[in-house]
């Protein structure tokens, strides 16, 4: 399989910054539609600020703190164009799932969410 140049990968990632402006949390694989997004309590998507794409990847520059309702297991994330509704762009598995027996927050440090082009 041919691989794109790093410049092309960086350009593609830069083009994703607007459609990937908000992060969501999911209890199961969001697939291609953003399915299984959690809801309830004070949960809401959170805005993501992306750093410049470099070397075929880019990472968030802001710490992300997302409210999670009690009785929820979070295993996946999704990226959307808007805080509500919007267009689903991409998602993936978290490094490990987390169960919230009581309401809490999931925090992702600055640089903790990385998108790669390859």
Distance CA 71, CA 47 (A): 24
Is the residue at 24 inside a domain?
yes
Question: Which residues is 115 bridged to in the sheet?
Answer: 58
Is the residue at 29 inside a domain?
yes
- Residue 117: the pLDDT is 84
Is the residue at 111 inside a domain?
yes
Residue 1 has pLDDT above 70, yes or no: no
Say how many domains are in the chain.
Answer: 1
Question: Domain residues for 64?
Answer: 6-116
Is the residue at 25 inside a domain?
yes
Residue 39 has pLDDT above 90, yes or no: yes
pLDDT band at 53 (very low <50, low <70, confident <90, very high): very high
Is the residue at 1 inside a domain?
no
Is the residue at 54 inside a domain?
yes
In terms of pLDDT, which residue wins out, 117 or 61? 61
Is the residue at 22 inside a domain?
yes
Distance CA 115, CA 61 (A): 12
74: nearest Cα among 114, 48, 108, 47: 108
Predicted structure pTM score: 0.92
Is the residue at 58 inside a domain?
yes
């Amino acid at each position: 399989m041919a691989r794109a140049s790093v410049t092309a990968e960086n350009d593609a990632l830069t083009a994703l910054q607007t459609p990937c402006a908000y992060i969501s949390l999911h209890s199961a694989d969001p697939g291609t539609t953003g399915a299984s997004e959690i809801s309830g309590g004070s949960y809401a998507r959170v805005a993501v600020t992306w750093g410049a794409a470099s070397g075929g990847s880019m990472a968030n520059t802001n710490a992300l703190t997302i409210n999670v309702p009690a009785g929820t297991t979070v295993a996946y994330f999704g990226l959307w164009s808007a805080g509500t509704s919007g267009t689903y762009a991409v998602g993936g598995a978290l490094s490990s799932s987390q169960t919230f027996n009581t309401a809490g927050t999931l925090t992702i440090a600055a640089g903790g969410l990385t998108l790669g082009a390859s």
